[in-house]
Amino acid sequence: MWRYRDKPIRTHSDLPEGTTHIVYRLTFSDSMMYFGYKTIRSERRLKPTKAQLAIRKNYKRVEWKDLPFVDYKGSSKENKDKTVVDKEILCCTSNKRTATYLETKLMFSFSVIENDELYTNANIGGKWFSNCMEGLIV
């Protein structure tokens, strides 16, 4: 079960209104942690109905679809066989750009690619990996 501000989250209705993405932290049984973000609600563009086309030819029909997230355990292959003991939602956002920014900011703040003993994140945004510091001249 997810937690957000010390409240249990069991469904989409437990989250703040307008939430489309969540930034989260998973804690595993071996005390390792993982940061990520997840899309929980998406916009679907559908064909207009005949009644809508009768009103206006260029009618756009938009529907929001709730995506499953309650049983989500992260997308990382390294964490596939690990047991999740805590799932915490750190931030709720209304767009992907904000979620990506907050996830990246958290990962840099906690130095996840430098702390292999504490975090299981292998990279940040697919651009920064643990070997990025190899070129450092002290």
List pLDDT tens digits, range 31-64: 999 999 999 999 998 888 888 888 887 788 889 9
Instruction: Check the CA dihedral 4-11-27-103 and report its sign.
Output: negative
User: Which residue's entry shows tokens 């207009």?
Assistant: 48
Domain count, the chain: 1
Cα separation, 129 vs 4, in Å, equals 29
Nearest-5° angle of CA 124, CA 95, CA 111? 20
Confidence at residue 87, expressed as pLDDT on a 0 to 100 scale: 96
Q: What is the pLDDT of residue 67?
A: 94
Band of residue 74 on the pLDDT scale cut at 50, 70, 90: confident
Domain that holds residue 60: 2-135
Query: Can you give the C-alpha Rg of the chain in angstroms?
Result: 19
CA distances from 110 to 68, 72, 133 (A): 28, 23, 16
Cα–Cα dist 19/36, whole Å? 16
CA 27/CA 6 separation, integer angstroms = 15
Please, which pLDDT band fits residue 88 given cuts at 50, 70 and 90? very high
